[in-house]
Structure 1
Amino acid sequence: MELSVGKFWKREFAPSLGFVAFRSSKWYILVAACWALYTTSFYYTSTVLLIPFTMTEQAGVPEDGVQIYAGVMMACYSVILVIGGPLAGYWADVGNSKKRPIMVAQTFLLISTVILWKGTHVAVLIVGRLCHGVAGSIFWSAGQALLADAFGAESIGNAVGYVDLSSSLGYLLAPILTGVLLDKSGVDSVYGMSLGFACISFLISAAMIEGGKVSDAGQTTSMAIPDLSSTLAGRLRLVRLLLRSRRMLAACLGCFVAGLVLVTYDTIAPIHMERTYHWGPWEVGLALGAWYGPKMLSIIPGTLADRFGARWMTVVGFFGCIPCFVAVAFATDDTSRSKALFILMTVCLSIAISFANTPITAEIIYVLDDKKRTNPALFGTTRASGLGFGFFLFSWALGATIGSLTCAKIVDSASWDAAIYSLAGWCAAGAVICLLWTGAREGPKTQVPEIPLTLESSDSEAGKSQESIACPKLGLGSLGDDPVHWGVGETKIYHQFIR
């Protein structure tokens, strides 16, 4: 099988003439989303490195409380993602524009940078971290929903691969640049750099024009199918439909495990390196590059997921993490052999988790695509991609919150290897769930014509003419799971429900 990034770009990004067309092209939308996620990822990772080395001096935290407060700071970010992800996804779906929430996120990112830069108390720093969580929740839900609308289900895995590539680039560069600047120039230079990236991201998003939307493969648009997506009852029925899907639940549980593993390792690895290997910011930054760098290969599992589905790559990715965690649990002494083992296994972990994280994210859109074909009334004219990525972010952030709090306590109360073994156990659970319930990618969809609502007349035994409505399956629960014939009275009640 040939994986050609060039073919993807030629197919997806046709040349556009004019500056307005350029700003509304899929290429520019992808750049805007990727730069926003690069910026928030860079800032997130930069603070991961800054917190252990600056919290004592900046906020007066005692040395023995740094590990706990580091976990709390990570959890503050993750808690906002849990709450804000579904809300941001809902906002993106029901609003007239997905650009508006993204601009709000850009504003919160600027505010967060200034607060964390100048804050001198733990409570102030927590507020800054919460603002960063608001920005991240909107970027990861509304931003990816915008991409899903632009690319469609047939290419979303590849697009998510580029998103993961850009965020991984932020994860890779942040510890290196932060470590160098922190050693040579101090904290101000690090936050100044982050603020510069945030300003550039704000301007790029402000110039974006929403456009380039693609229609769903194998779908036709017909006024005969009613649109329930604009009603609260319709949205709640759509949520119930998705939560009753084993594929959707499996995808959410896979995202939960991926978020737990990624953020937990982010939280405990820097302090382990500082305490065990006695490394400073520069050495820790380089070592974190071994964790974030290989994630730039995420474009490969994204492309494979578009062709073959998320199941086997996710399973292989989670199972591949287990022996790596078992090996890294032995890197507990200050020797060259232990340090080399730690770096090598960190690289292998990064590759393995990339093969789990990107496909399981794309699986969300695959499920939505399949559900929309069989339940067009509940989806209406939208893809519900904001809702889907709201589910993704809720699950991912919930895992991140639980992991950053519990594993930090395990390290303090038990040991490094106990925390690592717990991560291996989570990966085993994630692999089994995805093996059982995630779906294989279906082939190209054939166009299936929709059956319109038709008015039929018939004569009754009493000789009176009667009218009824022939209705296809609409996925409306008690209102009509099967094709039925409704009388005029039932039809009036049905339309009252819709409106």
Structure 2
Amino acid sequence: MGRFAGFLYQKRVDSTSPPPYLLKFRSSKTFIISTICIAVFTDIFIYGIIVPVIPFALSQRSGVAASDVQSWVSILLAVYGAALLALAPLIGWYADRSQSRRWPLLMGLVVLMGSTILLCLARSVALLILGRILQGLSAAVVWTVGQALLVDTVGSQEIGQTLGWVSLSMTIAYLLAPLLGGIVYDRAGYYAVFYMAFGVIFLDIVLRLFLIEKKIAAQWDDWFDGDVSTATSSQPERPSPSVAIEEEKTVLGGDITSERTKTPEEGSPEQPAPPPRFSKYPPIFTLLTSKRLVSALWCCVVQSTLMVAFDSVVPLFVQETFHWNSIGAGLVFLALLVPSFISPLIGAISDRYGPRWLVVGGFIFVVPFWVLLRLVTENTLKQKVLLCALLALIGVGLAFVMPPLMAEITYLVDAKEQANPGIFGANGAYAQAYSLFITAFAAGTLIGPIWAGYVRDKAGWGTMSWSLGLFSVAGMVPAFFYTGGLITERKGGRWSNSNGVVADQDLPAV
């Protein structure tokens, strides 16, 4: 009974209560990271699996006229982003006050299951829209709570590489789901697509039920002779930075605090640290005063806009230009999928050398290939190869952007916390910070389908492609100036991600 209570509630009843089965494994970094990656994969997979199916299902099941299919495809993709946009900050605020990350994750799974059942059975546009809104709610939970749990688990020293795995899971789901959705729909029909979705959800249910947070596992330390590392690896401590942290001034209620720490190596006398200043406002407002964070959020809007834009136009474009069916519409996404496998490597590079040049380089790299998409206009083998090659090169550029941007959120929260210890309270602000990140990502998922769909519909494929290429420049500019700290205040030195991981890189000038 004690073990059952430990499994269900993850709470130690008394000193004689045995630990849950497989405690070491279920609270290990590997299992927790794998569980969150599967949760992200599941959420995005369910989002994307109906991308190649929507054009056919709208006309055959919901009675939408052929001339209106493109508009409704864009709307159904955009309402998901709208739900994320509205709900993510609320979920983040709740998660940072919750004593458990696991229960919100389980509640999000219930919502995801309900939305999938609704989409499976819906025969009207209204029910399809409702299903997509519920998917957005589930995604808000997975992204805000899941990424906060990852920071709780690995700390910020390894967060770039860890979020690289999350980014890989997300990208694989984004691009594999349309592929499998198209093939299964063509071979087995509409319901078979959702049977596949329910199978993925079942795996997600099992993993989330078995997950044990490290702080929960610590209740049974005495069962392991007081050696915490045998039951759960302790959180990496956040040492005082051995190098300077970005100068970033936060203005709240007229008070100004500096987020720069000077070191003896710089030749200036050491100054006693000022007493901590605690904001009376919720952490989310403190975070939003940071130009560096706002820059990262805008870059995320641009990146997600570019990535999701393909979902609403590529299936219809290849159907009309190359006369491909739903299988071909799904297979073409493989060109975007393959480059995503470098995401963990990109995250590790970000941890060591900083995120700035990875993000800037990724945004610059994709511009010419977006513009060159306008050359794909005819049904020839050469044009088909050109389309796939351009999509693959765009995939490479976008793979350089997402992991460093995700890690930048953690780097910034740590910098603020170290400059003013306790400013975010006992539970920190990771969930709220990542709620802002996923809100920005949601804004991109809202903009991308509408931009690509309506510009292509009104002005053509060529105008759509070069306009999105120019939009990438809008992400590169703020990334150049603010990612990793204000570039005009940096000089030769070494990068620090606030956890003692340093490498040759520019530092904030003091």
- Bucket of the pairwise TM-score, normalised by the shorter protein: 0.7 to 0.9
1:114 is aligned, of 113, 117, 139, to: 117
**Alpha-carbon distance in structure 1 between the residues aligned to 2:37 and 2:202:** 15
Distance verdict in 2 for CA 1:37–1:239, change over 3 Å: closer
1:410 is aligned, of 441, 455, 463, to: 455
Alignment-derived partner of residue 205 in structure 1: 208
The CA deviation string for residues 211-254 of structure 1, in whole angstroms up to 9 with x for no partner, is 1561442159xxx98895xxxx6343x33432222211111111
Residue 79 of structure 1 deviates from its aligned partner by: 0.3
1:321 is aligned, of 357, 362, 366, to: 366
**Alpha-carbon distance in structure 2 between the residues aligned to 1:112 and 1:313:** 36
The CA deviation string for residues 309-328 of structure 1, in whole angstroms up to 9 with x for no partner, is 11000000000110110111
Range with greater deviation from structure 2 (242-251 or 310-319) = 242-251
The CA deviation string for residues 316-374 of structure 1, in whole angstroms up to 9 with x for no partner, is 00001101101112112222221111100000001101101111111111111111101
The CA deviation string for residues 146-193 of structure 1, in whole angstroms up to 9 with x for no partner, is 101111111110110111122233234323322222122111111001
SS of the residue aligned with 2:437? helix
Range with greater deviation from structure 2 (238-247 or 85-94) = 238-247
Range with greater deviation from structure 2 (326-335 or 429-438) = 326-335
1:433 is aligned, of 478, 490, 499, to: 478
Letter in structure 1 aligned against 2:135: H
SS of the residue aligned with 2:235? coil
**Alpha-carbon distance in structure 2 between the residues aligned to 1:335 and 1:409:** 26
Alignment of 1:443 onto 2:443: no
Distance verdict in 2 for CA 1:265–1:226, change over 3 Å: same
Alignment-derived partner of residue 262 in structure 1: 307
Structure 2: tracts of 5 or more residues without a match: 1-18, 215-231, 242-273, 486-493, 501-510
1:399 is aligned, of 444, 448, 452, to: 444
The CA deviation string for residues 237-293 of structure 1, in whole angstroms up to 9 with x for no partner, is x33432222211111111111111111122222211112211101111111111223
Letter in structure 2 aligned against 1:134: L
Alignment-derived partner of residue 280 in structure 2: 234
2:32 is aligned, of 24, 29, 36, to: 29
Alignment-derived partner of residue 64 in structure 1: 67
Alignment of 1:301 onto 2:354: no
**Alpha-carbon distance in structure 2 between the residues aligned to 1:235 and 1:49:** 45
Q: Give me the identity figure in percent.
A: 31
> Which runs of structure 2 are paired with 1:95-244 in the superposition (5 Å)?
95-211=98-214, 214-218=235-239, 234-236=280-282, 238-244=283-289
Residue 444 of structure 1 deviates from its aligned partner by: 6.7
Q: Is the 8 A contact 1:145 1:389 kept in 2?
A: yes
**Alpha-carbon distance in structure 2 between the residues aligned to 1:132 and 1:314:** 29
**Alpha-carbon distance in structure 1 between the residues aligned to 2:462 and 2:195:** 37
**Alpha-carbon distance in structure 1 between the residues aligned to 2:141 and 2:149:** 11
Letter in structure 2 aligned against 1:106: L
Alignment-derived partner of residue 366 in structure 1: 411
**Alpha-carbon distance in structure 2 between the residues aligned to 1:444 and 1:101:** 29
**Alpha-carbon distance in structure 2 between the residues aligned to 1:49 and 1:270:** 6
**Alpha-carbon distance in structure 2 between the residues aligned to 1:296 and 1:84:** 30
**Alpha-carbon distance in structure 2 between the residues aligned to 1:197 and 1:79:** 24
The CA deviation string for residues 46-72 of structure 1, in whole angstroms up to 9 with x for no partner, is 111111122111111111111100000
**Alpha-carbon distance in structure 1 between the residues aligned to 2:428 and 2:343:** 24
Letter in structure 2 aligned against 1:300: L
Q: Is the 8 A contact 2:354 2:497 kept in 1?
A: no
Q: Is the 8 A contact 2:284 2:429 kept in 1?
A: no
Range with greater deviation from structure 2 (144-153 or 170-179) = 170-179
Range with greater deviation from structure 2 (182-191 or 436-445) = 436-445
SS of the residue aligned with 2:400? helix
4+ runs deviating over 4 angstroms:
224-228, 444-447
Alignment-derived partner of residue 245 in structure 2: none
Q: Is the 8 A contact 2:414 2:498 kept in 1?
A: no
Residue 105 of structure 1 deviates from its aligned partner by: 0.9
SS of the residue aligned with 1:284? helix
Residue 382 of structure 1 deviates from its aligned partner by: 2.8
**Alpha-carbon distance in structure 2 between the residues aligned to 1:437 and 1:269:** 33
The CA deviation string for residues 381-403 of structure 1, in whole angstroms up to 9 with x for no partner, is 33311011011011111122122
Range with greater deviation from structure 2 (239-248 or 137-146) = 239-248
The TM-score, its normalising length taken from structure 1, stands at: 0.81
Range with greater deviation from structure 2 (406-415 or 171-180) = 171-180
| Larger radius of gyration between Structure 1 and Structure 2 | 1
Q: Is the 8 A contact 1:37 1:140 kept in 2?
A: yes
